[in-house]
Amino acid sequence: MKCPSCGKEIEPGHLYCESCGLEIRIVPDFEPEIENSITETLSTVGEEIKERETEGNGQEAETNGKEHEGFFLEEMNRSRIRSRVISLAAALLAIVISVPLLYIHYSASYQTQKAEKLADQGKYREAAALLEKAGRQEGDIVRNTLLLASCYEQLDDTEKAIQVLTEEIDKGQFPSEEMEKLYERVIRLYEKQGRFDAINDLLSDCRDESITTAFQHYMALPPVYNYESGNYDEVLYLRLQANTTGHIYYTLDGTTPTASSEIYTSPIFLEAGRYQVNAVFINEYGIESDVVRNWYSINLTVPEAPAVLPESGKYQVPTLIEMDIPVGCSIYYTTDKSEPDSSSILYTEPISMPLGRSNYKFVVISAEGVKSEVTSRSYEFTMDGSVSLNTASSAVIRALMAQHILTDEKGHAFGETGIHSFVYETVVQIGNSYYYIFGEYVTDGNGNRKKEERMYAVEVYTGTPNRLIYDENGQMGLIPLI
């Protein structure tokens, strides 16, 4: 048998043309003309039966001679009626058989099965034609839609595949599990095109929380602040939170944040003053959220900056760096030029000015966490005619070798595996002389360093080494090593 559409030979038993996809009917089409013909036949048979009954009643009174003639006429009529009834029964039987077959042949389920077979054979165009003809109004609509989208995707018509899927998504008439399958497929197509903004828009319009949660890593939701805009009588540690992987960018000067703005990595410290904190989230796909703008007014007293003495300058004699600590406040400082905060070194007593150049930054922090302005000091402390720190440290080592405590200048000791070293700490005045103060440290074979209780004092001008001791009143004293 040849296909009436393309002329290709169709193998026996096949229900469709494998070349063009045309359906081959296995039963005749059921048409209105057949129904009208059957109706007319039934009507005619009914009228003849009625006429025969009337004629039979009228002929009962006729003569016996006519009874014989009527008998033959009646038999002929009965034969004609039986023939018509048999024809009618055959027509009705054909209808009963053909209607279910026609329904099955044209059902969405049947068309889908045929389309799946074609798709398995790589005949995506024919499969898509069958699915479009069957429509997506009955049966497993999601299954049909996904199959149709796959066919268009295989035909490199991604836009058509997306259209098929989004049309069903817009209807929103399926359970969450089924809707998620549609979202997953269209998101994959958008991602293949690099259209992450379209994914974000698609999910932003979705009202099903289970679906937005499942695909939230594609979304760029606005940052969430842990404090709302308003007036506060305390210092705020403002935290910003995003919904997925990416970066939050923010500004404090009222400008709109961009990818070149400050990246949020830790809580933003808001002390006394007024602030406008603007923030935007940009996810790993480069999608930007809406900008969030919050305003804060922190109503607290700012402490005054610390008054540090002495002033910056050059010094030739040991000098203490000191200041007054305000009531209810603390002072912190740094020596590496970084900005001091509550995690910096706590100031508790005067600081001995170190030899050489040094830089200090001090800040007062109130009990509420409000910081003062920073006070900076720079010093250059030298002692003319003094021995160097290396010379003073070597004097201690040689003295301990003479006492048979150390075995060599590298710091090895008798009966020990560790190495002793002597680290300069400060310069102090004891009596009428000045001394370098060294702490003693021992480093074991694993590199662990431990400070010992022993300390040493070396006279800055002569290099004479001594043990440094304290009496019961905390006063410093000296024990000569040589």
355 within 8 A of 382, measured Cβ to Cβ: yes
State how far the alpha carbon of 22 is from the alpha carbons of 18, 119, 131, in Å: 8, 15, 13
Distance CA 361, CA 345 (A): 10
pLDDT at 209 over 60: yes
Q: What is the per-residue pLDDT for 101?
A: 40
Instruction: Name the band, by pLDDT with cuts 50, 70 and 90, for residue 183.
Output: very high
Please tell me which residue, 83 or 304, carries the higher pLDDT value: 304
Query: Looking at the domain covering 313-381, what would its CATH class be?
Result: mainly beta
State how far the alpha carbon of 256 is from the alpha carbons of 47, 236, 242, 293, 331, in Å: 92, 22, 18, 9, 36
Instruction: Name the band, by pLDDT with cuts 50, 70 and 90, for residue 35.
Output: very low
The yes or no reply on domain 224-298 and CATH 2.60.40 is yes
Distance CA 163, CA 137 (A): 16
Mention every residue, 6+ apart, whose C-beta is less than 8 A from residue 392.
424, 436, 438, 458, 460, 463, 465
11: exposed, middle or buried (C-beta count within 10 Å: 0-12, 13-18, 19+)?
exposed
At residue 426, the 3 state secondary structure works out as: strand
Q: What percent of the chain has pLDDT over 70?
A: 77
366 within 8 A of 394, measured Cβ to Cβ: no
3-state secondary structure labels for all residues of 178-234 = HHHHHHHHHHHHHHHHCCHHHHHHHHHCCCCHHHHHHCHHHCCCCCEECCCCEEECC
What tens digit of pLDDT does each residue of 300-346 get? 989 999 999 999 999 998 899 999 999 999 999 999 999 999 999 99
Distance CA 347, CA 334 (A): 10
Terminal CA-CA length for the chain: 123
What tens digit of pLDDT does each residue of 245-255 get? 999 999 999 99
Q: What is the per-residue pLDDT for 482?
A: 82
Instruction: Name the band, by pLDDT with cuts 50, 70 and 90, for residue 70.
Output: low
Pure H helices in 107-136: 108-120, 124-134
Instruction: Name the band, by pLDDT with cuts 50, 70 and 90, for residue 384.
Output: confident
CATH code, residues 109-216: 1.25.40.10
DSSP letter assigned to residue 448: -
Question: Mean pLDDT across the stretch 368-384?
Answer: 93
Q: Which of 481, 460, 447, 293 is nearest to 388 (CA)?
A: 460
Distance CA 122, CA 105 (A): 23
468 within 8 A of 459, measured Cβ to Cβ: no
Q: What is the per-residue pLDDT for 19?
A: 63
The two structure tokens encoding residue 429: 């005045």
Q: What is the per-residue pLDDT for 80?
A: 66
pLDDT at 267 over 70: yes
User: What is the overall mean pLDDT for the chain?
Assistant: 84
Q: Which of 298, 296, 294, 297 is nearest to 222 (CA)?
A: 294
What tens digit of pLDDT does each residue of 276-300 get? 999 999 999 999 999 999 999 999 9
The two structure tokens encoding residue 472: 């019961």
Q: What is the per-residue pLDDT for 214?
A: 92
Distance CA 370, CA 235 (A): 7
Question: Mean pLDDT across the stretch 404-432?
Answer: 93
pTM of the model: 0.51
Question: Mean pLDDT across the stretch 426-437?
Answer: 92
Strand positions, DSSP E, 403-464: 419-430, 433-443, 449-459
Intrachain domains 224-298 and 313-381 with the same fold: yes
Distance CA 298, CA 275 (A): 8
Mention every residue, 6+ apart, whose C-beta is less than 8 A from residue 316.
381, 382, 383, 384
Question: Mean pLDDT across the stretch 217-238?
Answer: 94
325 within 8 A of 347, measured Cβ to Cβ: yes
Question: Mean pLDDT across the stretch 375-381?
Answer: 97
Instruction: Name the band, by pLDDT with cuts 50, 70 and 90, for residue 109.
Output: confident
List beta partners, residue 279.
250, 292
Nearest-10 Cα torsion for 279, 280, 284, 285? -170
Please tell me which residue, 466 or 59, carries the higher pLDDT value: 466
At residue 435, the 3 state secondary structure works out as: strand
Tell me: cis bond preceding 310? Omega within 30 of 0 counts. yes
Which amino acid does the sequence have at 30?
F
What ranges do the domains of the chain cover? 34-54+72-94, 109-216, 224-298, 313-381, 389-480
pLDDT at 351 over 60: yes
Q: Tokens 């400008």 belong to which residue?
A: 255
